[in-house]
Structure 1
Amino acid sequence: MKYFLATLHTEGLKIIKSKVIWIIAAAFSIAPLMAGFFMFVLKDPALAESAGLVGAQAQVAGEANWQSYLDLHAQMIGVGGIFVFGFVTSWIFGREYVDNTVKDLLTLPYSRAVIVTSKFLASFMTNIVLSAYIVALGFFIGWIVGLPQWSSAIVMQNLYVILIVTMLTIVLSTPVAFFASYSRGYLAPVGFVIITLIFSQILTAVGHGEYFPWAVPALYSGLTGETIISWSSLIIIGITSLLGFLSTLYWWLFADQH
């Protein structure tokens, strides 16, 4: 436990002191800003009509109220989180190879399993903080816009959905860690994330998204109008995340590291 906590502390320092995470947070901030802009446009029909195409695009967000606004946040995390959380995971694992610091990790006097587990936990915690930041920023923007129909019941119900969507999206980042370790860099895992996003859109469009793990969070967020998740989808996500974790652990334990 002492080694694990020391390793986790080191990973936390790497993340906090790196500019990459702050750049990712700044880029992810665009999502609630756009959601707030759409709500602002929808509140004023005359402005929406004069905005032309922007007004038409804003109709996708629904009505200008807290329910539609928070629904939109869940959908942004369900879709955009696949890329953002995946990139964070690929950076945490791949940076050791890119910065040529993996040799230093491998000389430490404890099991490589400790390193892998601490990296996964650091990735999980970082992604949770990013999601919480986006939601908090969204609430701030929503209050500035002055959205109507605020109620504690609506907020609690939507926060529950956002939490589930966030958890499902984060656990699906474990295969990204394997590709980052296997390829010893960022390109392959980012390519994998992009491929999963493409297939998510295709399979959701043809009605089979519930069987593709990376499409399930977006479906649960209400992207198609429903917030229902089946046990089969949960089992598929569980198997996918477990395989990603075990394959990453196996690679670090048994693969030749140069």
Structure 2
Amino acid sequence: MSRLGAALGCEVVKVRRSRVPPLTALGFSLGPLAAGLFMVIMKDPARAREWGLISTKAQVFAGAADWPTFLSVVGQTVAIGGWLLFALLTAWVFGREFADRTARTVLAVPTPRWATVLAKLLVVAAMSALLAVWAALLGLGIGAVIGLPGGSAAVLLDGVAKVAMAATLTIALLPPIALAASAGRGYMAPLGLALLLLFLAQVVAATGWGEWFPWAVPALLAGLAGPDAAALGPWSFALVAAVAVAGTAATVAWWRLADHVT
């Protein structure tokens, strides 16, 4: 564990010296802010009509200007927008040394490669979790400022719990992105894979088979396809767990066995 701690400390230092995490947090703020804007528009349709078709689009997008709907939208933001931003963080953490041609330095240190991989995954998970917490807190603040109705303690707890679950499931799906960044030795392969998986998740969810596609599960849980679709079976969560375990094992194996000559 001391070896893992040393690798983790090294990764934390890299994160602290980078501008990527704060910029990602800034981008992540756009989701709750946009959801709040739609809520404001829907609360005042008369004024929204002065702006054209905004009120109609907002109604289709959200449904009702209340706390349950707002928190559902925030959860979907974490599941969908979070997937892209979490994948961006993963691509940066795992692909940085390869893109900067400093991978040999990392591989030359006596720290076991499994410890390096696990440390990177833990850093990615921690940063992603902090972003999800920030989105939830920002969403609660925006909802309070707007004065949305239906904000009972039970509703707020249920909404925040779904945001947390969506974030947890999304984070669990990141190891294949780490593998793509490692095998692809840079940023392009993982980002391309993230976009492909997001596209497939939308297509599969639209056909009604989203519960069998791991990358569609977080958004379905957040209510993207309605409350009925959010009632996922245990197999959906088992598939997400399988992706997490298999992706982590494959990434560790690649770092240990693959040719790292760059």
Q: CA–CA distance in 2 between the matches of 1:116 and 1:26?
A: 27
Structure 1 residue aligned with 2:241, among 238, 243, 249? 238
Superimposed CA distance per residue, residues 221-258 of structure 1 (whole angstroms, 9 cap, x where no aligned partner): 11111221111211211211211111100110011112
On the 8 A contact 2:28/2:85 being kept in 1, the answer is: yes
- In the alignment, what sits opposite 1:255? 258
Q: Is residue 142 of structure 1 aligned with residue 169 of structure 2? A: no
Q: CA–CA distance in 1 between the matches of 2:141 and 2:165?
A: 22
Matches within 5 A, 1:192-203: 192-203=193-204
Q: What secondary structure sits across from 1:51 in the alignment?
A: coil
- In the alignment, what sits opposite 1:54? 54
Point out the more displaced range, 42-51 or 163-172: 42-51
Matches within 5 A, 1:23-34: 23-34=23-34
TM-score (norm 1): 0.96
Q: Is residue 163 of structure 1 aligned with residue 164 of structure 2? A: yes
Shift of 1:62: 2.0
Q: CA–CA distance in 1 between the matches of 2:136 and 2:161?
A: 12
Superimposed CA distance per residue, residues 125-183 of structure 1 (whole angstroms, 9 cap, x where no aligned partner): 01000111111111122222222222111111111111111111111011000000001
Percentage identity across paired residues of the two chains: 37
- In the alignment, what sits opposite 1:66? 67
Computed over aligned residues only, the root mean square deviation of the Cα atoms, in angstroms, reads 1.2
Shift of 1:78: 1.4
| Aligned-partner residue type, residue 234 of structure 1 | F
Shift of 1:53: 2.2
Q: CA–CA distance in 2 between the matches of 1:53 and 1:103?
A: 56
Shift of 1:49: 2.3
Q: CA–CA distance in 2 between the matches of 1:167 and 1:30?
A: 20
Q: CA–CA distance in 2 between the matches of 1:211 and 1:148?
A: 35
Point out the more displaced range, 137-146 or 64-73: 137-146
Matches within 5 A, 1:54-133: 54-59=54-59, 60-133=61-134
Q: CA–CA distance in 2 between the matches of 1:208 and 1:184?
A: 33
- In the alignment, what sits opposite 2:11? 11
Q: CA–CA distance in 2 between the matches of 1:107 and 1:243?
A: 26
Q: CA–CA distance in 2 between the matches of 1:16 and 1:63?
A: 41
| Aligned-partner residue type, residue 36 of structure 2 | G
Aligned length: 258
Q: CA–CA distance in 1 between the matches of 2:31 and 2:16?
A: 22
Q: Which aligned segments of 4 or more residues in structure 1 are displaced greater than 4 angstroms?
A: none
Q: CA–CA distance in 2 between the matches of 1:122 and 1:166?
A: 15
Superimposed CA distance per residue, residues 40-78 of structure 1 (whole angstroms, 9 cap, x where no aligned partner): 111112122223222122112121111111111111111
Q: CA–CA distance in 1 between the matches of 2:153 and 2:83?
A: 28
